[in-house]
């Protein structure tokens, strides 16, 4: 079964709102094993909506239009479906009742235009709207299924979950399940990671696809079929093969974050963590404390932007700051050692660098960063060069620092 999604609304073409409806619908359709080959967005213009509907129906078995069911003159989706497929519209008594009672409950007088929303397709089915006045509709015509849904996500999503999906499952005998698993890497570039597993990519069921997501590389394994056990076994087998190649480069799966994994490794070993942050300015601590329950492992952090703070709070020696500079291998090391000593942690992450846009020099350009990771018996300091905006440099540094700590714990 192939589907096409059409989003209707001039506000989408003007960039006034971000479309999340089609994203959500795509997820639902994928989970049923329905392919989506095209999505399109069209404004509140009858002729263009009609053309988009006809094009979609020429290449898909299922066409889902979102938006344009409101009471105003701009809302034209149902009129367009009626015109595109030559289906008359008739008043749906249940929808009239629903709209009337909706306004009565809110003690708002009903406008004539609101009853326009009760017009549905002859021979079609209404989709009840539990969170608004506009019913959706579904229609079978010329071997195709055409559905229209209200634009507001809080109306659309429950309508899809509770009515459209069960209808599609029943009507088209859809028994397929779709399962996926995401493996996450933080220490390798996309090309390098792909190079290592090139022959395992693609595939048809399960599929394995790489994706750069934020500052991470992920591999998504997706399987589909009617036998849930077989689908899951296939995914597990693909995961095993990827893990054989990538080993400990994979830091986690699915909803794992690098920070939650690092905290987990430290917790397993009974080690507490402290951080000393210069150029990241608190971002590493912020990420660590986003993890629920982090307080049992993460103790404290010092954000020491000023040199004086590096001396007074972390005991970095003035001779080090003056001799090598605040952004140096030596300062990073003393920050990590000072953080363990002064803040009382078993493990420490320390970063110092130049986030920019100012503050760089030929010798020490913007993006130069030193990261120190300290464990009870291992200290490592590494130099990095990051590109991008100030925020990019902060984010790349935080990511690299957490990954360096993960590797230090696992002796990678």
Nearer to its own copies, 139 or 302 (CB): 302
Q: What is the C-alpha separation between 307 and 318, in angstroms, rounded?
A: 9
Through-space distance between the first and last CA atoms of the chain, rounded to whole angstroms: 46
96 contacts 118 by C-beta, under 8 angstroms: yes
Q: Nearest distance from residue 35's CB to its own copies, in Å?
A: 8
Q: Nearest distance from residue 235's CB to its own copies, in Å?
A: 15
Q: Nearest distance from residue 169's CB to its own copies, in Å?
A: 18
Q: What is the C-alpha separation between 368 and 324, in angstroms, rounded?
A: 14
State both tokens at 175. 């028994």
Nearer to its own copies, 125 or 180 (CB): 180
Nearer to its own copies, 24 or 364 (CB): 24
Nearer to its own copies, 96 or 309 (CB): 309
Q: Nearest distance from residue 13's CB to its own copies, in Å?
A: 5
Nearer to its own copies, 141 or 188 (CB): 188
Q: Nearest distance from residue 308's CB to its own copies, in Å?
A: 7
Q: What is the C-alpha separation between 111 and 147, in angstroms, rounded?
A: 26
State both tokens at 192. 């390098």
CA-closest candidate to residue 86, choices 55, 117, 54: 54
Q: Nearest distance from residue 246's CB to its own copies, in Å?
A: 16
Please, which residues bridge with residue 62 across strands?
A: 3, 145
- DSSP H or E run through 113: helix 112-115
Nearer to its own copies, 21 or 82 (CB): 21
Q: Nearest distance from residue 88's CB to its own copies, in Å?
A: 25
Q: Nearest distance from residue 123's CB to its own copies, in Å?
A: 29
265 contacts 409 by C-beta, under 8 angstroms: yes
Nearer to its own copies, 212 or 233 (CB): 212
Q: Nearest distance from residue 20's CB to its own copies, in Å?
A: 6
State both tokens at 29. 């359709």
Q: What is the C-alpha separation between 222 and 24, in angstroms, rounded?
A: 17
Please compute, for residue 150, the number of CA atoms within 13 A of its CA located in the half-sphere on the CB side: 23
Nearer to its own copies, 87 or 394 (CB): 394
110 contacts 98 by C-beta, under 8 angstroms: no
Q: CA quadruple 387, 392, 394, 396: dihedral positive or negative?
A: negative
Nearer to its own copies, 13 or 233 (CB): 13
Q: Which residue has the tokens 């050692």?
A: 337
Q: Which DSSP category does 43 fall into?
A: -
Q: Nearest distance from residue 118's CB to its own copies, in Å?
A: 14
DSSP secondary structure string for all residues of 352-406: EE--SSSS--SSS-TTEEEEEEEETTEEEEEEEE--SSHHHHHHHHHHHHHHHHH
- Cβ-Cβ contacts under 8 Å for 342 (sequence gap 6 or more): 302, 313, 314, 315
Nearer to its own copies, 139 or 381 (CB): 381
């Amino acid at each position: 079964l192939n589907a096409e999604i059409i989003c209707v609304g001039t506000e989408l073409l003007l960039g006034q709102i971000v479309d999340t409806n089609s994203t959500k619908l795509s997820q639902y359709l994928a989970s049923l094993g329905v392919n989506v080959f095209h999505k399109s967005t069209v404004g509140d213009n009858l002729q263009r909506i009609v053309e988009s509907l006809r094009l979609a129906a020429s290449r898909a078995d299922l066409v889902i239009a979102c938006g344009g069911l409101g009471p105003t003159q701009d809302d034209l989706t149902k009129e367009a479906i009626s015109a595109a497929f030559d289906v008359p519209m008739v008043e749906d008594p249940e929808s009239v009742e629903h709209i009337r009672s909706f306004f009565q409950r809110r003690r708002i007088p009903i406008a004539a235009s609101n009853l326009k929303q009760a017009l549905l397709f002859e021979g079609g089915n209404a989709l009840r709207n539990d969170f608004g006045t506009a019913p959706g509709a579904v229609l079978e015509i010329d071997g195709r299924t055409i559905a229209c849904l209200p634009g507001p996500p809080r109306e659309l999503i429950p309508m899809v979950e509770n009515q459209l999906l069960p209808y599609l499952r029943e009507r088209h005998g859809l028994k397929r399940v779709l399962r996926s698993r995401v493996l996450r890497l933080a220490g390798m570039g996309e090309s390098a990671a792909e190079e290592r597993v090139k022959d395992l990519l693609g595939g048809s069921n399960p599929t394995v696809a790489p994706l750069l997501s934020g500052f991470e590389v992920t591999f998504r394994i997706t399987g589909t079929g009617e036998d849930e056990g077989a689908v899951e076994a296939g995914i597990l087998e693909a995961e095993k093969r990827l893990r054989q190649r990538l080993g400990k480069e994979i830091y986690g799966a699915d909803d794992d974050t690098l920070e939650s994994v690092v905290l987990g490794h430290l917790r397993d070993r009974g080690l507490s963590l402290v951080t000393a942050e210069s150029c990241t300015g608190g971002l590493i601590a912020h990420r660590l404390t986003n993890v629920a329950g982090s307080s049992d492992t993460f103790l404290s952090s010092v954000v020491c932007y000023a040199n004086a703070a590096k001396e007074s709070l972390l005991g970095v020696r003035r001779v080090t700051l003056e001799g090598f500079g605040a952004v140096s291998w030596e300062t990073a090391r003393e920050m990590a050692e000072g953080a363990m000593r002064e803040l009382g942690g078993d493990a420490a992450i320390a970063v110092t660098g130049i986030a920019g846009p100012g503050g760089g020099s030929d010798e020490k350009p913007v993006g130069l960063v030193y990261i120190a990771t300290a464990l009870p018996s291992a200290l490592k300091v590494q130099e990095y060069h990051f590109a991008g905006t100030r925020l990019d440099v902060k984010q790349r540094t935080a990511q690299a620092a957490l990954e360096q700590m993960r590797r230090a714990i696992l002796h990678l």
